[in-house]
Structure 1
Amino acid sequence: MREALWLLAALLAAYAAFEFLRALRLPREAAAGASGATPSGTGAQGPVAAVAEDQKRDDDDFLAYAPLPSPAAASAPASLAPDAPAPGASAALAEAEAAARFELELENSGLRQALQAQRDLVALQQTEIDRLVEDLTALREELDNQVSSVASSPEYSEAMVLAAQGLNAEMIAERCGITLAEAELVLALGRGGAGRP
């Protein structure tokens, strides 16, 4: 069972690593596709502008893991604010918001996994508790059957009467001709029966 749990944990870790690497790769591919679509514009600006744009892209490369905002979400703030900041500042702000959103989604995913693990643990513990309650019920029934069989047995009826009178186990064993262990058992059953309603 433990080996199966370790295997499951390893599979989940591998899947999480795969999803993380895929999340890292997708924004870079989209950025490469966008830069490939505008090489003529950078050529018209000159080599200095192209080098500056490459430098800016390298500086922003640490945010490449973040999901890119949708075009509708990016255009909505620009249309609502007539005196919006420069396009470079709004792009940086959008990237920062996207990075924060990605962090929150990642944390939310981790919390969901932890919650599911707790739910699985609670379900397992509830199953164990139910099994223990069934075992306890069976043991109580067996004890009640043993008590009733000892109480109804003619060879122990005198011992039960002596136990009810308050004699100790040695005296019960001597008078009834039973072993000391049997006398102690009868004495314990007599005390248990007296404590019951």
Structure 2
Amino acid sequence: MTLDDLALGWREALLGVVALLVLYVGVVVVRLRRLRAPDPVPSPEAPAAAVPAPSGEQLAAAYVEPPFPWNEPPDTPGDDSRLAALDGEVLALRNELSALRGELASLREELRDEVARVNERVQAAQHVAPIYGDAMQMALAGHDAATIAERCGVARAEAELVVALIRNRDGSDDGDDAGSMMKER
């Protein structure tokens, strides 16, 4: 006996699959009949063989539609309180959002004012003679007169004049500029 003798062809495999499907359908039909037919409860007086099979009307009565509508969600108590709490929370968030929008608008205005001031400084620095442009920018950055004179190649007195002009324009003149200039010399 060889393996070729035991080999199955496609016809035998197809017949086996059909037989398995018929068996499966038979099992499913038997299970469905068990689900549909309720088990009759015999009364203690009557013997088990004397119980009649239920009729179609009796089966229909056994499967009465439940009073609860299954296609709608149940009404749960407390939904109103949850909705009211959520509405209050949404209202609080809206108020907070409007307050944040107001703060953002005020910050935008402050930023615009600051940009305008910086633009004025830049324009003022551009109107200065080209030789003093770097000195003006360094003075705006807060460098002292000695550093400006050294890096820009101007006289120290000119650098002190540029620093004094910037301080006077910004309104930070303390009246000590002349005294500080005298001490440095």
Higher relative contact order (CA 8 A, sep 6+): 1
Max radius of gyration: which structure?
2
- TM-score normalised per structure 1: 0.35
